[in-house]
Amino acid sequence: MAQKRFPVVTARNLSFAYDTAAVLQGVNFTAYAGEMIAVIGPNGGGKSTLIKLILGLIEPTQGSLHVLGKRPSVARGEIGYVPQYTHFDTRFPISVREVVLTGCTRPVFGRHTKADKAAAAGALERVGLSDRALDSFAELSGGQQQRVLIARALVSDPSILLLDEPTANVDAFMSDRFLELVVNLATDRTVFFVTHDTGYVSEESDRVFCINRSLVEHPVAALRQDLVHATYSQPVRKVLHNKHIDTTHMTL
């Protein structure tokens, strides 16, 4: 990818612990503008923790983390986020469009503007849900709700997108479409795409971070099947230009 190498997220000797149990230790990386980074690793490896650190929802216990040269909590406005777990009540009385609009709600004061509503319509269009804008969020399927949450993350036109296992409750067909969408989104922003299952490693991913307490980076080209297999004891799937190819018995 022909990008000027502009650092967007920088971690230096980053560590985090809940109470005393270390979750992340000595993590170093720099993510550059326009990169699509696949974040893989076993359950409990610390992927969501890294995402929350980048969002500024939790503070590092050691080391430094900068987003666009600023403290994470200051740079939040530049970040779009799709959480792994939905803590909200799925029967909450709210329309699809209103959910998307919460992505650009003023922090303290002020209502949604015409521009906000146009952005919400645009975001819903990108995830293919324009026709459901006025429906109740509660009436959508799990996969559709997940797409609404992606639209919510897109509505503020963030330069960084953090997707924490966005395909967790999306079926296999949808999740390939999903990947297409994510790849499209990554053309003009930095994307962290977290996944734990078989490692959704797209050809379009620029880099792969494997997180298990520490961070090990794998260039996509070097991501050999036996390596991933050894990490997960599971087959790898590879997506090539929207065609889904099972690479279980392929040598990369």
Contact residues for ligand ADP (CB under 6 A)? Answer: 18, 23, 41, 43-49, 196
According to the binding rule CB under 5 A, does residue 84 interact with Mg ion? Answer: yes
According to the binding rule CB under 8 A, does residue 92 interact with other proteins? Answer: yes
Q: Which does 243 bind (CB under 5 to 8 A by kind): Mg ion, ligand ADP, other proteins, none?
A: none
Residue, CB closest to Mg ion:
48
Q: What is the CA radius of gyration of the chain?
A: 18
Compare residues 14 and 23 and give the one whose CB is closer to ligand ADP.
23
Distance CA 100, CA 68 (A): 25
Element (DSSP H or E) covering residue 70: none
CB 207 within 8 A of CB 35: yes
Ordered strands of the 214-219 beta sheet: 79-82, 160-164, 190-194, 36-40, 207-212, 214-219
The candidate with the shortest Cα–Cα distance to 239, out of 161, 164, 180, 193, is 180
Distance CA 102, CA 117 (A): 11
Smallest gap, in angstroms, from Cβ of residue 51 to Mg ion? 8
Compare residues 54 and 129 and give the one whose CB is closer to ligand ADP.
54
Among 22, 33, 58, 94, binds other proteins (CB under 8 A): 94
According to the binding rule CB under 5 A, does residue 167 interact with Mg ion? Answer: no
Rounded to 5°, the CA angle 54-57-60 comes to 65
Smallest gap, in angstroms, from Cβ of residue 89 to other proteins? 7
What residues between 27 and 66 interact with other proteins by CB under 8 A? Answer: 55-57
- Give the binding site for Mg ion (CB under 5 A): 47-48, 84
